[in-house]
Amino acid sequence: MRTGLGFDSHRLVEGRKLILGGTEIPFEKGLLGHSDADVLAHAVTDALLGACALGDIGSHFPDSDPAYKDADSMVLLKKTGDTVKENGFTVGNIDATIIIERPKLSPYIRKMRENIANALGIDADHVSVKAKTNEGMGDIGAGNAAAAICSVLVLKDGK
Ligand code: MG
């Protein structure tokens, strides 16, 4: 039994789609990045890689590689899930928190959980996604950025 921790943050800017956990959310801003900048998917990906001591998202999917320009981060998450399995691990559970001032994410949480579960071939009951504001503090509080943190548990040979 091993745990992993992932963190990510991106700027929120006009003229970009807001995609969290593979779910497009109607909003006047979106996350800026080389890929689709899905901050939740990136935190989950890093947590999985960390639990298995397999490096980090940047080493597997470098943002200097044109192949990952505007990449669908859920595809990258699925590839990471395959890598996790190839190394003999299975995913126990995932618990993630998104920190964003607006919009309210509660209508989209179920879909995010299902998307992550589907990408990894696990049950949505083993995936938790929570959302909170930053209470008006800093760049996140000003609506200019968002972050996500994720904890995962993986098992090797069922233990
Ligand atoms: Mg990122």
Q: What is the largest CA-CA distance in the chain?
A: 46
Q: How far is the CA of 151 from the centre of ligand 1 (A)?
A: 16
pLDDT tens column, 41-90: 999 999 999 999 999 999 999 888 888 888 899 999 999 999 999 999 99
Residue 136 Cα to ligand 1 midpoint, Å, equals: 22
The reported pTM is 0.97
Measure 158 CA to ligand 1 centroid, in angstroms: 30
| C-alpha 89 – ligand 1 centre gap (Å) | 24
**Is residue 104 predicted with pLDDT exceeding 90?**
yes
Instruction: Indicate if the pLDDT at residue 157 is higher than 90.
Output: no
pLDDT for res 136: 98
Instruction: Give distance in angstroms: CA of 84 to centre of ligand 1.
Output: 19
Rg (CA), the chain: 15
- Ligand 1 (ion): which residues have CB within 5 A? 8, 42
pLDDT tier for residue 149 given thresholds of 50, 70 and 90: very high
Mean pLDDT of the chain: 96
Centroid of ligand 1 to alpha carbon of 40 (angstroms): 8
Q: What is the Cα–Cα distance from 43 to 76, expressed in whole angstroms?
A: 12
Mean pLDDT, rounded, for 122-130: 98
- In the DSSP assignment, the letter for residue 155 is E
Residue 67: per-residue pLDDT: 86
Query: What pLDDT shows up at residue 63?
Result: 85
Tell me the CA distances in angstroms from 66 to 61, 72, 77, one per residue in order.
10, 13, 18
pLDDT digits (tens, 9 = 90+) for 3-43: 999 999 999 999 999 999 999 999 999 999 999 999 999 99
Task: Identify the pLDDT of residue 139.
Answer: 98
Q: How far is the CA of 159 from the centre of ligand 1 (A)?
A: 30
How far, in Å, from the CA of 125 to the mean position of ligand 1?
Answer: 25
